[in-house]
Structure 1
Amino acid sequence: MRHPDSGSQDVMTRRAWWLVILGWLIPGSAQVLAGSRRLGRFGLGATLTAWIAAIILGLGMMLWRSGLTSVLFAPVIGPILLTIAQVAVAGYGVLWIVLGIDTLRLVRLVKTRTPARYGIAVLSILLMAVSGGTAAYAAGSVGAARDALGSIFGQSAAPVPPSDGFYNILLLGADSGDGRDSMRFDSISVVSIDADTGATTITGIPRDLPDFPFSPGPMQDLFPDGFEGHGDPECGWDGGINQLRNAAENCRDDKGAGLYPDATARGSSPGVEATKDAAEGILGIEIPYYVFVDMHGFADLVDALGGVEIEVTERLPKGGGPAWPGQPAEEWAIGWIEPGVQRMDGDTAQWYARSRYTTSDWDRMQRQRQLQQAILAQFTPTTVLTRFQDVAHAGEDLVETDLPQSMLSYFVDLGLKAKEQPVTTIELVPPLVDPEAPDFPSIRQMIADTLHPETPTPEPTQ
């Protein structure tokens, strides 16, 4: 390899193929065999370090996943470690390309056979492109993970223990953007996750649910007999639970700061906290955290995941709705979602979740729950690995939450457990609940029975 018979084209051709392939598989080996041993030893050392790091990381994910993720997701040390990893991966990628270029010099193409030299040159360039692209993608993914963690998850919120064995999270969906001051939560549900098993129950709360009670707090003090909906018409406050953001923020001179003075510091808002208190009063459970899903970024997440598979049961129109009551959908629809199983892109999935003018709010709630489960099903290791940067960037624009970053590793473990079990859904809609006169004690008892079913008493043996 180091002192070949340069007069033999056959020898030089075989040597060239070996050096290019071996140099790509084990960066630095070509230089040790045929070039600068110092550069080769440096390349081999970097390669061995990268392999050891990858093996340790793989073993850690298999044998000590919770501990490893808790370190990587830690609020202070996590971003530092991810930055170091990003720089190291990018640096190794540059070294890999430099070694590839040097290997192409070492093969001495002019000494190889004419047909083969073009193949050797093309293979070298392709392998360098693969090396550089792989390193760039890996470094970008590490950076995207670091940025997303810092952008999405709060660092000031304090971790709380599970309540009666469950972590309950308020899940809100709405359109932001222009007119955000009048934004209402069009999708309201509570995700209850068993702290031991990961078993998940999703309870959907109708956005127009009236006369609901609050858990103890400032909103209960304002509305001791429940939220009756006697508000300011100019604020659009007319009684449903989705009006709470207006009641708690937009219709108040202090924008709700007097009601919930610590909300902003904890990564929340008075409107969200008021909705938490309402959901607690309705369901009879403690809800420490929320996740807000911005529908303007929802389409980007679906596209980042490669779409979602949905079975559509009835034809649904796309569009902003009729210009006047009774206007046929055929006149205002900008498109249609046809029945049948289909793979929806982000725009179609967004209309599927929004559409309500030809169906009821109850139907729309069911479709939103269907989409939630379809998106969770798309979060497979393969999908996340191949589309990680797109998913992470979409998440930054899509999600707001007060979940503390320090608890993220714990919720990752719970999420993996949850994927192995069916999701229980409860919709507080007819015939289960009378939307005009909800029986809230019965609702709270139903939730308690679902989350804590009675264990059958074994019959005594004879």
Structure 2
Amino acid sequence: MRENRSLRRALALTLASTLLWGVAHIWTGRTRTGLTLAAVWLTLLSAGVTVLGNAPTLPLRRLDVVVAAGAALAVAWVAVIVWSWLVIRPRRVRFGLPLLAVAGLCVLVAAPLGYASRLAYVSNEVVSSVFVADDPAPQVVTPVVDPWAGRERLNVLLVGADSAENRPGARTDSMTVASVDTRTGESVLFSLPRNLQNVPVDGFPPAALLNEVFQWGEDHGRSGADLLKSTVGDILGLDVDYYAMVDMRGFAQIINAMGGVTVKVPHDIVFGAYREGLIKAGTHHLNGTQALWFGRSRTDSDDYQRMGRQKCLLNAVAEQADPLKVLRGFERIADVTKRYVSTDIPRSLVPDLIDLAPKVKGADIKSLQFVPPLIRTGDPDWELIQEKVDEALGERTRPIAATPAAKPKADKPVDLDESCA
């Protein structure tokens, strides 16, 4: 009976030492060691709470440090648990269930830290592979009150690129500028059709289409992404800060890694070169392949209907990409991202974008598509496009950027489309 009480006390003190380092040592008279362990633990806990409380995304700025720190903490914590058991265990207890209980405590502590370190490692690989390296000058990582330096809007060009085996290069068939209010997260999506002509680019063939600008720049010794970004900015009259381009081959894999996406299909959608696929009208949970065709099919429809479906799909993905889904498919999403996503967003801005994301998700997201009858794609009215952008952003007094001569203005107003119904 005495041995049972001693064993229960030893296990209880080991558990207490797991929650607060040093308890078992203090109980056995090793007061100095116990107090030292407790002080170290409280210091680590206080530091962690302070960092996460003041800047929840601060660890994302140094993911390599997070990986090392997580692994070191796991090893140290397990060592404290084992050490506590060794100093408190009854002498006659060697093996059996008590030892399994202590091992279980070690696993319970080490597994989450190991998983967190793994996520940090994978995240660090993604950030290093996809995002642009910052200025090599040393930077002091400190919490920033306004990471946007007074900039009221962030304009990011979102591009869906389509490449095929039967033609060289890539065509940017989906081009949308997301203009985000950095204070509230309220956003407006400006979508440009792929078949705009007379694009304001020096030397670019007038009959060529907007979706050919990227590859034309690459073929003429220029950065296709930079040229497309500046061209779209000139058309809209906006300063486009960054771009993010997804190869459509990877889009389906990202949707699958999320577990699919639910969308309202307005009417039957036929897809495939030989009409081999069909998505029936109604609300459906689509897998990656179905979502890809939902956004890209033009069979029995046109570019403008496709643009509307693409906008609906982007909204659905943004709304349904909850943290749990992303976490479950994190490594698959990370692998696809490294292979199929490119951007010029600097690495140092990633934590601030993560901070901004909940505001965007919780705020209004509106959209404006520059398609007929508002815009004639073969002979666009550039000034009208910029005026409509100003109206959407509430900036009616901003001067219009220099573009080709304006055409007669349309009298029909265009409402911001707020639904996918």
TM-score interval for Structure 1 and Structure 2 normalised by the shorter chain: 0.7 to 0.9
Amino acid at match of 2:132: G
Asked whether the equivalents of residues 200 and 424 of structure 1 are also in contact (C-alpha less than 8 Å), the reply is: yes
Task: State yes or no: 1:23 paired with 2:4.
Answer: no
Classify 1:395/1:110 alpha carbon distance in 2 versus 1 (closer, same or farther; 3 Å): farther
Q: Which residue of 167, 180, 188 maps to 1:201? A: 188
Task: State yes or no: 1:417 paired with 2:359.
Answer: yes
Asked whether the equivalents of residues 19 and 107 of structure 1 are also in contact (C-alpha less than 8 Å), the reply is: no
SS at match of 2:177: strand
TM-aligned CA deviation for residue 172 of structure 1: 0.8
Q: Residues of 1 paired with 2:271 and 2:102: CA distance?
A: 51
1:48 corresponds in structure 2 to: 42
SS at match of 1:186: strand
Classify 1:379/1:140 alpha carbon distance in 2 versus 1 (closer, same or farther; 3 Å): same
Amino acid at match of 2:70: V
Q: Which residue of 168, 175, 182 maps to 2:155? A: 168
TM-aligned CA deviation for residue 47 of structure 1: 2.7
TM-aligned CA deviation for residue 401 of structure 1: 1.2
Asked whether the equivalents of residues 202 and 426 of structure 1 are also in contact (C-alpha less than 8 Å), the reply is: yes
TM-aligned CA deviation for residue 276 of structure 1: 2.3
SS at match of 2:362: coil
Q: Residues of 2 paired with 1:149 and 1:15: CA distance?
A: 48
TM-aligned CA deviation for residue 317 of structure 1: 4.5
TM-aligned CA deviation for residue 393 of structure 1: 4.4
Task: State yes or no: 1:295 paired with 2:248.
Answer: yes
Task: State yes or no: 1:340 paired with 2:309.
Answer: no
Task: State yes or no: 1:89 paired with 2:31.
Answer: no
Across the aligned residues of Structure 1 and Structure 2, the Cα RMSD in angstroms comes to 3.7
1:234 corresponds in structure 2 to: none
Q: Residues of 2 paired with 1:30 and 1:337: CA distance?
A: 64
Task: State yes or no: 1:8 paired with 2:12.
Answer: no
Q: Residues of 1 paired with 2:236 and 2:302: CA distance?
A: 23
Q: Percent identity?
A: 27
Q: How many residues were matched structurally?
A: 386
SS at match of 2:264: strand
Q: Residues of 2 paired with 1:355 and 1:36: CA distance?
A: 73
SS at match of 1:185: strand
TM-aligned CA deviation for residue 98 of structure 1: 3.1
Q: Residues of 2 paired with 1:309 and 1:157: CA distance?
A: 41
Q: Residues of 2 paired with 1:107 and 1:318: CA distance?
A: 69
TM-aligned CA deviation for residue 55 of structure 1: 1.0
Within-5 A mapping of 1:96-175: 96-102=77-83, 106-108=88-90, 118=97, 120-155=98-133, 165-175=152-162
TM-aligned CA deviation for residue 48 of structure 1: 2.3
Classify 1:37/1:204 alpha carbon distance in 2 versus 1 (closer, same or farther; 3 Å): same
Deviates more, 1:198-207 or 1:426-435: 426-435
Structure 1 unaligned blocks of 5 or more: 1-6, 230-238, 251-255, 261-268, 323-328, 456-462
SS at match of 2:125: helix
Q: Residues of 2 paired with 1:127 and 1:110: CA distance?
A: 21
Asked whether the equivalents of residues 301 and 398 of structure 1 are also in contact (C-alpha less than 8 Å), the reply is: no
Q: Residues of 2 paired with 1:46 and 1:391: CA distance?
A: 37
Within-5 A mapping of 1:12-411: 12-34=6-28, 43-61=37-55, 69=58, 78-79=61-62, 82-102=63-83, 106-108=88-90, 118=97, 120-155=98-133, 165-175=152-162, 181-212=168-199, 214=200, 219-220=201-202, 222-223=203-204, 227-229=205-207, 239-250=208-219, 256-257=220-221, 260=222, 269=223, 271-317=224-270, 319=272, 321-322=273-274, 329=275, 332-333=276-277, 336-380=278-322, 391-411=333-353
SS at match of 2:171: coil
Classify 1:384/1:109 alpha carbon distance in 2 versus 1 (closer, same or farther; 3 Å): farther
SS at match of 2:299: coil
Q: Residues of 2 paired with 1:16 and 1:304: CA distance?
A: 45
TM-aligned CA deviation for residue 89 of structure 1: 1.4
TM-aligned CA deviation for residue 87 of structure 1: 1.3
CA deviation string 1:222-259 (max 9, x = no partner): 25xxx422xxxxxxxxx221112332233xxxxx32xx
CA deviation string 1:153-177 (max 9, x = no partner): 22358999888x5332221112459
Amino acid at match of 1:128: C
SS at match of 2:189: strand
Amino acid at match of 1:155: A
Structure 2 unaligned blocks of 5 or more: 137-146, 398-421
Classify 1:125/1:303 alpha carbon distance in 2 versus 1 (closer, same or farther; 3 Å): farther
SS at match of 1:376: helix
Amino acid at match of 2:73: Y
Classify 1:367/1:246 alpha carbon distance in 2 versus 1 (closer, same or farther; 3 Å): same
TM-score, with normalisation over the residues of structure 2? 0.77
TM-score, with normalisation over the residues of structure 1? 0.71
Q: Residues of 2 paired with 1:273 and 1:208: CA distance?
A: 19
TM-aligned CA deviation for residue 443 of structure 1: 1.9
TM-aligned CA deviation for residue 424 of structure 1: 1.2
